Amino acid sequence: MSGTVMATLFGTDGIRGPVGTYPMTEQGIRDVANAIARFFLKHRNIRQVLIARDTRASGELFERAAGEGVIAAGSDAAVAGVLPTPGAAYLCRRHGTGGIVLSASHNPAGDNGIKVILENGQKASSADEALIERMLADRAEFSDSLIDEDLRGTVIHAAAWTEEYAAFLEENCTSAAREWLSSHAVVLDCANGAASSLGGTLLARLGARAELLGASPDGKNINRECGATHPGAIVKATVDHKAAAGFAFDGDADRVIAVDENGALVDGDRIMLILAGYLKRRGKLLRGTVVATDYSNLGLRQALSALGCSLVTVPNGDRHVAERMRALGCALGGEQSGHIVLMPEHTTGDGLLTMLMLLNAMADSGKPLSALHAGFHEAPQVLLSVVVREKRELASLAGVQRAMRDACEKLRESGRVVVRYSGTEMVCRVMVEAPSKGAAERWARTIAAEVSREVGR
């Protein structure tokens, strides 16, 4: 196998890295896709693998390489082209196929990645990923010339499958929401990513008056000053167009950030609060519980409590959210960043589905979006990212542990401290909530300084 395989390729959301560095090379993608196909054959008896991608310049080359890897394993490659990650998850469940999504989500165009979707529409577990890595490490780089033509799989052109996903989304928009859309303007920022074509088409089919931003991908502008990670554009456009709401997706459209009619951001925490109220009114908030991550603001727990709902938290990552939701039998969960999981409608975070559910909630209530999240009172929160040279166990960093203890003892029940390494980048996240912004900043900077001193780059 060309290049050097890291001890652990998979992070919190698949494999991700700069294009040109293994495994984000043509041969690396071919190797990994081949291992994924062999995993599906051996461990799940699946002989067809859906391949989807976002709009990065490296996507077409990697799509071909992934297809080659899959058919060399003796499996069929169903090539769907540009498709949101949740669209691939929906289609994998519908057709019973395995799935490979080539995307680096919210990362810049110079990165790419691989996400593995199971035939039930769920993201591969960490145990599944470990099996794939083992299969990758146990086999030398394959040569096309050594593979018997009779043992190869075939390529299936599956671009038309996108219509099935679009139909699924339409089915989840209520008649009341369609009527609401006919008389209200909305703005979409598609991040020049996977939702660029589908987002506008979907709203047009629903009869909406929609203004589109970030819907002209050129391979290099995905997530560039647009989308969920750069909400300034959607805020301005929503206000300028006097729209009732704005929605900004990330590169693979598995998350969304909303903007109300006043230009205020409605992040994942606020979205979960709104949808919790909507589902509860309809008797669909199973167990009366919402699942979120440790990064969700204290204000979410307080606002849900006022609704008579409870909150369960898990480590960062929408995969962890979905796993806990399935274990508890919950219908709603998500992340502050805008990954929202809605069960039983879907198996993973879906920005377009979340947008439609918010529109359903607005139409059902007859209230503006600003009124629906007015009950959320955000605790001051500071999140810092420290670039690190290595990811040593945090428990072994004496200075970091001391600073964290000091902060927790001081804040007690009035705040929180969360320190974790990113699963997709060489950074350490330091999040502090406190009664005041100043206190949160002081403690966050104190802890971040210790992280930098001990493992900073």
What average pLDDT does this structure show over 136-142?
A: 68
Pair 103, 251: CB distance under 8 Å: yes
133, 161, 189 - which closes a domain: 161
As a whole number of angstroms, the distance between CA 418 and CA 226 comes to: 28
Higher-confidence residue of 429 and 12: namely 429
117 has pLDDT over 60: yes
Q: Rounded to 5 degrees, what angle do the CA atoms 304, 305, 309 make?
A: 65
Task: For residues 94 and 77, give the distance between their C-alpha atoms in angstroms, rounded to a whole number.
Answer: 16
| Same domain? 441 vs 304 | no
For residues 150-165, give the mean pLDDT: 92
The pLDDT of residue 356 is: 98
The separation between CA 70 and the C-alpha centre of its own chain, rounded to angstroms, equals: 25
Average pLDDT score, the chain: 94
199: pLDDT strictly greater than 90: yes
Least Cα distance to 74 among 95, 49, 56, 53 occurs for 49
Owning domain of residue 69: 15-161
Contact indicator for 58, 103 with CB cutoff of 8 Å: no
Number of domains in the chain: 3
pLDDT of 6 higher than 50: no
Looking at the fold, whether 274 and 201 belong to one and the same domain comes out as yes
Residues 356 and 252 in one domain: yes
Verify that 198 and 125 share a domain, yes or no. no
| 102: its two tokens | 């080539």
Specify whether 185 is located in the same domain as 323. Answer: yes
Assess whether 252 and 395 both reside in one domain: no
Residues 34 and 180 grouped into a single domain = no
Q: How far apart are CA 227 and CA 253, in angstroms?
A: 9
- Residue 149 sits in a domain of what CATH number? 3.40.120.10
Reported as a single tens digit per residue, the pLDDT across 57-85 is: 999 999 999 999 999 999 999 999 999 99
Catalytic residue among 105, 196, 296, 337: 105
Same domain? For 290 and 346 the reply is: yes
**Do both 272 and 415 map to the same domain?**
no
Q: How many CB atoms lie within 10 A of CB 148?
A: 7
What pLDDT shows up at residue 425?
82
How far apart CA 203 and CA 189 sit, in angstroms, is 13
| Residue 457, CA distances (Å) to 6, 357, 414, 443 in order | 20, 43, 32, 21
Same-domain check for residues 214 and 306? yes
For the stretch 242-284, pLDDT in tens is: 999 999 999 999 999 999 999 999 999 999 999 999 999 999 9
The H or E element containing residue 210 is strand 209-213
444 shares a domain with 297: no
List the Cα angle 121/123/127 in 5-degree steps: 130
Within-domain flag for 206: yes
What pLDDT was estimated at residue 317?
Answer: 86
**DSSP label at residue 311:** E
105 is known as an active-site residue: yes
pLDDT digit string, tens, across residues 353-401: 999 999 999 999 999 999 999 999 999 999 999 999 999 999 999 999 9
| CA atoms of 410 and 417, how far apart (whole Å) | 11
Q: Are 337 and 196 members of one domain?
A: yes
Cα(325)–Cα(320) distance, integer angstroms:
9
> Given pLDDT bands bounded at 50, 70 and 90, which one contains residue 241?
very high
In-domain check, residue 7: no
Distance of CA 94 to the CA centre of its chain: 20
Distance in angstroms (rounded) separating the CA atoms of residues 237 and 219: 23
